[in-house]
Every structure is written in structure tokens, then in C-alpha cells.
Amino acid sequence: MSLLEMTISASTFIVAIMIFRFLLIHKVPKLTFVVLWSFVLFRLLVPFSVPSPFSIFTAVSYLEEMVVTVPENAAFSKRSSSLLDDNTVIMQPKSDSIAIPAVPVQAASPLSPYVLIWLVGFIACALFFIIPHLRSRNRYKMSLPVESNYIREWQQTNSLRRKVQIRQSDQILTPLTYGIIRPVVLLPKQIDYEDEQQLGLILTHEYIHIRRFDTLKKWLLAASVCIHWFNPFVWVMYFLANRDIELSCDEKVIRTFGESMKSAYAMALVRLEEKKSGLSPMVNNFSQSSTEERILAIMKTKKISITAMLLAIVIVAGSVTVFATSAPDHTVEHAGSDGAKVVYQGKGQSTTALMPIDLTFTSADVPMLIDRLNASNYRAVYMDNEVYLRVTKDNSILISKDSGTNWSLYDADDINATEFANWLLINDPIPGYSMKEMQSRLKEGAQVKHIVFGNGKEMYLVTDQNGIHIELVQPEKVASVLLDGHRMMITFKKLSNISATMLQSFYDLLVSNGILTETEAEQDYSAKIEHFEQNDTMFTITD
């Protein structure tokens, strides 16, 4: 999964949790949200996904297929039956490929501008967290041991697996805990060390943080913000999750001490705030105080009812299945050219189909054309508005860019047949008229040549003793006509719009290359136009 995929998939999850949080904050245990945030964190930081048929992304890709692909196909399928009955034209709509782009996607260079911008943001964010932390850490190190019998006794009765130090500092205003492996609870010097009830509440709160590894959670939250700094939802998550960690901890304190301690605990919080603001000249109305949210949450804490517990479980299980998973991968499996199994892992969504939508006449439909081609000096002829191409009997490729006046030899690259077989599986996965045949030809050692034109246009030429077969790649729809040893193929610039000019030029080309006589060309051209006009609900002839 790419960073962008991770960030997008996590965003929907974050929005869902925000809604749950808004509706249910005082109704379900606060731990519910902490657990949900942990799943988002996992999603944000771990670059692989768990496929599930119930994922929201399954629904998304399903919808996409309905919206994007179906209309095109419907146009074909509605009418193609008559054509098939007619038994003259075989349609090969190839738009609904489930494949990734055909052209090998250019690997992003490690210093592409986007990567660079991301890196700058990442470093800035990381420094934004690390520098203040290191400065505070240095301050915390200057703390002193606490001289208090109550604390010493408390520590003995509440020992954890990790050794916890409790120290005192006059440079902090609120109690805090730092360190993950060797945690230190730091108490401000100003708190009332005689008030044992308050001290007990504070220490219990900090020990719960330690037991739950909340410092680690906060670091992971910070890490996810650094990595996904461009995603505002992740920032929102950072702030809400930090609050939820506190709220959940408060809740646990109350459960430990009992509900009767609610007001005492809330008052302790306010007293700490009072100490903090005592001499502070700062009046800051930047945001709604988290203290108020905490106090409300504390005062509203009730015994967890079974209903609330079930609700929490349903929310976690439900939203994790729906949002934390991804759509299952489509797996296309097919025998490769070398007989080995080739497994292609397609993406959930349908992507750009680079194979042109074409109208194909097989050798049974156009026997005369194929015969004449085989009898001529050429094995294949192709044209579009930019390039004319012909392949001679000795497999030389000749290209003309001035409508057939001057021809020059083109030196095409050889392509490994196995790679091409894989490419074909990925890009033309519909078992068409030629797939089986093509595979057996590749298996028997057919040669594959590759031509790259401008604008992403490409051509693969498969050659063996039976003749030549050409596969076209067109990132944009291009009007073209192709005749090779197996078929005549017309592609459209606009769906089902056949360019009469293009067809006319093609017949001219066949004549000028001595494949057809002028009379034969005129007859065949008229026959084709007539055929299309008879099926005018299907095709439009344009100039």
C-alpha cells in the first residue's frame, strides 16, 4: 500500500470515529475510543492491509464499477446480440479490464518533487515534536527525590513490573509521567503533599498511564502525524486521541476508587489548574478547555451497563471490519507462456484501460483481405492519424510519418515472451478470440517486438511462422485501422464513431502497397460502409 492509500483509507475511519465520539462519548466506556484509535494508528503506520469482503472499500470499488464501466458496456451489450447473430462482426469491448495501467508505471525517483515536499514536512514535524521534548527531558532530569512517607508506602503497595521512580520538580506545574521502559512519575513541588487523598488520586492516574503504555501511544500518535502531516484528519485524530487517553485514564481511576470519589477527583483536577493559573497572566481563549471536558466526563461516569458494553463491542467490531480493512484483491490466474502458473494480483478498483476499444473482423469475416495480404509483400499494415506502419515478409518494420510517401526502417526492441504473456494477462484479461492461440504461440517460441510511439502509444508485434499478430496500446482513444495475418481491426476516437476518412486512407494504403487492386479496394470499402450504415444504431460514420 502506498502512503496515499494508507492515508485515504485511514481518513474514512477517523471520520467514523469522530461521529461515534460525538454521539456516544458519555455513553460507552472511554476505552472504546482508545481501542478504535489504536486501529487507525495501525492502519496509518503499518503498510499492509487486511482484506475483507465487508470493507467500505469493497463497496466503493463496486460502486465505481457500476458508475464507470457499466454504461460503456451496456451500450455494447444491448445491441451486440444482433450483430453476433449476423455473424459478421465480433465485438471485443475491452474497457472493463480489472488491471493496472499497461505501460510499466514509471518508478517514482526517490527525489521526485512530491517525495521531497513530503520529506521536508516530515522532518519539520518530527523536529516540532522532538526538540521541545528533549528540552523538557533535560528539565525533568534535574528533578529531586520526594521525601514523603505516604508516597514510599504507596509505592510499596502498588508495585509494577517495571520499576517506577517518583520524583519531584519545581519546574513543572502538573503531575506527569515520562519514559516508556523506565518510567518516572514527576510531581510538581507546589502540590499539597499532606493531602493524601489527592496524592493517591494523582499517583493512581499516573500509574494507570504507565500500565497502559500511554507514553508509547502518544509517541505513535506523534509519529503518525509526522508521516501523514498533509492529512488534516490525522491531526484531528492526534488531538482527540490524546484527550481520549486522558479520559479513559480518568474513568479507570474512578472505577478503582468508586463513584463516590467522582467529585473529589474532579476537584483535585480543578485545584491543579488553580495552582497552574495562580500567577499566570495568560488569558487564552484559543479552544474549549479540555479540563471542562474531563470534568464533565468524570462527573457523568456511571457503572458500565451491559447495554453500553455491548454497544462498545459492536462499534469496535463493526467499524474495524468496515473501515480498517480493504477490499479483497482480485486475483487473475492463468497459465503463463512457459507453462508455469502466472498469478497476477490486481487492484480492487478498475483502472485505466489502455487496450483500445475496437471493432474486429476475423479471418472468417474478411477472408479476401487476409488472402490478399498474405499474397503481398507485407505481413501487416497499420495506420492512424500520425503514423503509417507496414511489416514486410522478412519482418522488417517500416514506418512513415508523411502518409506513406517516405518509409524508414524501424529497429524495434525484442521483448521476452514470458514477460509479454504476463503483460497480456494483466492488460487484456478477457479471454478473447486470440488469447488461447496467442499463449500457445508464445509458448512455441514466437518472437515479440515492442514499438513505442509518442503520447504513450505502443505496439507489440508477435511473429512466428504463422504470420504476425499486433497488439495495440492507446492511453487515449485513437482512430486507427490495422490489418495483420489474423484480423482487421478498427479503433475509434469516439466510442463507435468510425472515421470514413481513416478507412478510405487505409484502402488507399492497401492499394499503394499492392495488396489490393483499386477496384477491389473500392468494392470492399463500399461494402464496409454499407455494413456500418445498416447497423447504424451501433456505429456512426464520421468524416
Enumerate binding residues for other proteins (CB under 8 A): 128-129, 131-133, 135-136, 138, 141-145, 165, 168-173, 188-190, 239, 242-243, 262-263, 266-267, 270, 273-274, 276-284, 286-293, 295-296, 299-300
Q: CA–CA distance from 401 to each of 218, 381, 404, 422 (Å)?
A: 63, 14, 7, 31
CB of 238 to other proteins, least distance (A): 9
Between β-strands 50-51 and 325-326, what pairing exists: parallel, antiparallel or unpaired?
parallel
Query: DSSP label at 89?
Result: -
- Three-class SS string for 292-336? HHHHHHHHCCCCCCHHHHHHHHHHHHHHHHHHCEECCCEEEEEEC
Residues linked to residue 381 through DSSP beta bridges, in sequence order? 390, 483
CB of 246 to other proteins, least distance (A): 9
Helix axis angle for 214-227 and 31-45, nearest 10°, is 40
The grid coordinates listed for 329 are 484483491
CA 174 to CA 275: how far, in whole Å? 9
CB of 151 to other proteins, least distance (A): 15
State whether residue 437 is helix, strand or coil: helix
CB of 220 to other proteins, least distance (A): 16
* Residue with smaller CB distance to other proteins, 114 or 239: 239
The grid coordinates listed for 7 are 492515508
CB of 244 to other proteins, least distance (A): 12
Say if residues 321 and 52 touch (Cβ distance below 8 Å): yes
* Largest separation between any pair of C-alpha atoms in the chain: 114
* Residue with smaller CB distance to other proteins, 41 or 451: 41
Place of cell 526538540: 131
Residues linked to residue 332 through DSSP beta bridges, in sequence order? 344
CB of 164 to other proteins, least distance (A): 14
CB of 277 to other proteins, least distance (A): 4
* Residue with smaller CB distance to other proteins, 73 or 136: 136
CA 543 to CA 502: how far, in whole Å? 8
CB of 167 to other proteins, least distance (A): 8
* Residue with smaller CB distance to other proteins, 110 or 278: 278
CA 542 to CA 540: how far, in whole Å? 6
* Residue with smaller CB distance to other proteins, 165 or 362: 165
* Residue with smaller CB distance to other proteins, 12 or 190: 190
* Residue with smaller CB distance to other proteins, 63 or 131: 131
* Residue with smaller CB distance to other proteins, 138 or 405: 138
